[in-house]
Each structure stands twice: as C-alpha cells, then as structure tokens.
Amino acid sequence: MIPCMNKKIFGVECLGCGMQRATALLFSGQFEAAFKIYPAIYAILLLLSVVVFNFFVKFKYDYQLKITLILLTATVMVVSYFMKMSHFM
C-alpha cells in the first residue's frame, strides 16, 4: 500500500486514509470490513459508476444527479473523518 504522506509528515490521517485498504477488501469480498475502514467507499463507487455510465449514455438530469452524488460523497467523507478523529468508530 502507498503510505499517506499527510500522516507521515503531520501525524494526522487525511480524508482519504483507508481508501486503499477498503478497495482491497472490496476486491476480496469483505464488504462489511471495507465499510468499517472507509464508509465513503460505496458513495465513491456509486459516483464513479454514474460518471462512467454517463460517458456512454446521456440522460435527463445527469448533471443534477452527479452534483448530488458529489455532495453525498463529500458529506460521508467529512462526517466519517470527524467521527474517526473523535474515536467514535
């Protein structure tokens, strides 16, 4: 795994810490463990799926859907980060 430079330099995890491990867990079929390590993994996958699908198929309200998914993903990332830093998780 690639080490987090933010954690190495400042000693504090970044918003993306855990994404690599969660992705590796997803590929190995450990879906619950992936969510526990990085809750935003499923929101990111949904966003990426919609963006890739939209490259091939144009549909009505695609822009609004992408903006909504971006905001959802950002919210999940920020909330889970603060929960992790507060040691709730």
Delimit the domains of the chain by residue range.
5-85
Average pLDDT over residues 44-61: 95
Give the model's confidence band at 2: pLDDT under 50 very low, under 70 low, under 90 confident, else very high. Answer: confident
Global pTM value: 0.85
CA separation for the pair 54, 45 (Å, rounded): 14
CB burial class (10 A; 0-12, 13-18, 19+) of residue 35?
middle
Whole-number Å distance between alpha carbons of 27 and 66: 25
Rounded mean pLDDT of the chain?
Answer: 93
Categorize the per-residue pLDDT at 84 as very low, low, confident or very high, splitting at 50, 70 and 90. Answer: confident
Q: What is the pLDDT of residue 4?
A: 87
Closest by alpha carbon to 15, among 4, 26, 25? Answer: 4
What's the chain's length in residues? 89
